[in-house]
Copies of this chain bind each other. A is one copy, B any other.
Amino acid sequence: GSYTTSSQQPSKLLFRQLFEKESATYTYLLADASHPEKLALLVDPVDKTVDRDLALVKDLGLKLIYAINTHVHADHVTGTGLIKTKVPGVKSIISKASDAKADLVVEPGDKICFGDLFLEVRATPGHTLGCVTYVTGDGPSQPQPRMAFTGDALLIRGCGRTDFQGGSSQQLYKSVHSQIFTLPKDTLVYPAHDYKGFTVSTVGEEMLFNARLTKDEEAFKNIMANLNLSYPKMMDVAVPANMVCGLQEVESKPC
């Protein structure tokens, strides 16, 4: 069924979901457990929980190679920069459309490989101009069901705001419908945040029950235009830091 979160998984994915409570951010650890070096990556690490995350990477015997962001966050400072200072060789990754500095910038259709596993990059602008969704690969040796790391484009029963950072409710509506709701219905939805204690959803479930994205486009744009949200406390600190992947001391060279 499209709501089943545990089913046949022929892959050797090691997967951990981690939570940072101040910003209600989810960080995800993925590794190829059958690769001799157990190559691993982190999606959306937070500066405050870097020590926890790196201790877990060490306990599990993983080799961290990438620290990836779904977008330039406005509510917390990414852990990417701190990770790079603590684990030599880790490369930061963000989308080219974000215009942020990173070791590697990715574009829609690119694959981020770790061992025999990979994430594919889908452009899902609307919350910010540079938002991407990372989706586990399609194919017999990749995890089943697939997993979508949707950042703030699609939250469980909700979505990210669209009123700054190049946001656009029209663009977000199109992104979610064309890039996420077209995935198999049993695809697991792992967002960058949750404020109600949900940990995971599925594409099929959000297509039926998402409070905003199930509406038609006009109704969606009206909802998004009338949220009356306050200016994010962390924004003026977080955005400049995150534009250089948390490496504030970076000058001319990419972080």
Contact = CB atoms under 8 A, between A and B. Distances in A.
A73 B34 CA distance: 40
Contacts of A4: 12-14, 33
A15 B6 contact: yes
Contacts of A209: 59
Contact of A60 (B3, B8, B34): B3
Interface residues of A, number: 37
Nearest to A11: B6
Give the number of copies in the complex: 2
A8 B9 contact: yes
Contacts of A10: 8
A4 to B, nearest CB: 5
A137 to B, nearest CB: 14
A6 to B, nearest CB: 5
Contacts of A1: 12, 14, 33-34
A197 interface: yes
Nearest to A9: B6
Interface centre among A3, A16, A21 (most CB of B within 10 A): A3
A49 B197 CA distance: 9
14 contacts: A3-B33, A3-B60, A4-B33, A5-B14, A5-B16, A6-B9, A6-B143, A8-B10, A9-B9, A19-B19, A21-B21, A52-B196, A52-B198, A60-B205
Can you list the 10 inter-chain pairs with the closest CB atoms, starting with the nearest?
A19-B197, A17-B199, A4-B33, A1-B33, A6-B9, A59-B209, A6-B13, A6-B15, A3-B60, A4-B14
